[in-house]
Amino acid sequence: MKVLLVGSGGREHALAWRVAQDSRPVDLHCAPGNPGIALHAHCHPVRAEDAEGILALARELNVELVVVGPEAPLVSGLADALRKNGIAVFGPSRAAAAIEGSKSFAKDVMRAAAVPTARTLPIARVPCVIKVDGLAAGKGVFVCTTQAELDDALRAAAAFEQPLVIEELLEGTEVSVFALCDGVNAIPLPAAQDYKRAFDGDEGPNTGGMGSFSPAPDIDVDELVESIHRPVLAELARRYAPFVGVLFAGVMLTETGPRVLEFNCRFGDPETQSLLPRIEEAFVDALGAAASGDARGVDLAVADDVAVTVVITAGDYPEHGDQGSPIEGIEDAERSGALVFHAGTALHGDRVVTNGGRVLAVTGVGPTLENARTHAYEAAGYISFPGSRYRSDIAKEAAVVR
């Protein structure tokens, strides 16, 4: 089977790694890829946002399936361009991807589908959450509990030059719930928890994600998918926008029940790096079944193991990334048995160097959460570059509870 994976981040490296583990032979290609993905796939210098270039590459390679990783190409209509040319795609159309591309559209869909979500507020008043309506690379959500935080949030949000959505601030435990979708059916995947704030103790600005673990404890995934994903799938289909791909719901488990914070139209990052090491077989077949419009027979085996992922970032992330700094210790981390997923890296000659804000994700897998967490942090300790840092408390509280 010949597959083209679109993207260049840690999520796409995890997808490439998972596809390479399947017993079914796969001729895997990636555009544009990164140094880690290149260990599993043939990489091509075509940007994910270049729809014409991706289409030309897919035709040239005569691929059987295209898997689109990032949200921006999906929201701009890459899947539509491919499907119009007879190419199977795991990823939603532009109309369906609006579930992530527009917070106000997602709110409208949830209201119509009777899916519980945070109330929209008419004015910004603490406590509240300020959200940029469109895509913001994980940096467009501002939790405001003081007037100073609200003032800062409004200034920061204005820089995106997009409409804003103002919501009530919900309290509880946040979980990431995924389902593979074929336009009608939803196949639940294991839940995960991620850590969005930049610093220990959930302090500092929101980021694209500083770490994750899976499975999230005490979660009935089937029940959540039944009450959240399936009604939304039905509503999107009613609007002639059937959703094909992975539908990702960020859910707050409140005292009064689950409430949806947001929807995403793709796998999460860094949740994917904790989720996919637990998927045991036939992953690419599952993606292909969803892309073909019939995932009813999909039955993904999930290991009992726990996975913990620690993201290593540039020192000034999320304000700034880092480019060109040599990275040490990747091989040592891998020799310890951990998985190292490349996110913001590049090659300078034969050296791996930094090329972004979130540089690497290190995943430890073990029979218990504490074991997986210890494994991940021991491996992360081998890796360094000037200014490198990571949170020290990923999954810490959950490990204590368990």
**How confident is residue 138, by pLDDT bands cut at 50, 70 and 90?**
confident
Q: Is the pLDDT of residue 402 over 80?
A: no
Predicted TM-score (pTM) of the model is 0.95
- d(CA 120, CA 18) in angstroms, rounded, equals 39
Per the structure block, which two tokens stand in for 263? 């929807």
Query: Strands (DSSP E) along 111-256, which ranges?
Result: 128-132, 141-144, 164-167, 173-182, 186-188, 193-199, 203-214, 244-254
- pLDDT score for 14: 98
DSSP assignment of 372-389 equals: HHHHHHHHHTT-B-TT-B
Residues in the chain: 402
Q: Are 169 and 153 in contact (CB under 8 A)?
A: no
Q: Is the pLDDT of residue 137 over 80?
A: no
Per the structure block, which two tokens stand in for 162? 């997009």
pLDDT in tens, 141-167: 899 999 999 999 999 999 998 999 999
Give the HSE-up count for residue 91: Cα atoms under 13 Å, Cβ half-sphere: 29
Indicate the average pLDDT of the chain.
Answer: 95
- pLDDT score for 297: 87
Helix 103-113 × helix 94-101 angle, to 10°: 100
- d(CA 277, CA 287) in angstroms, rounded, equals 16
**How confident is residue 182, by pLDDT bands cut at 50, 70 and 90?**
very high
Express as a percent the part of the chain with pLDDT over 70.
99
CA dist list (Å): 319 to 315, 322, 337, 356:
9, 10, 32, 11
- d(CA 24, CA 21) in angstroms, rounded, equals 9
pLDDT in tens, 335-364: 999 999 999 999 999 999 999 999 999 999
- pLDDT score for 23: 86
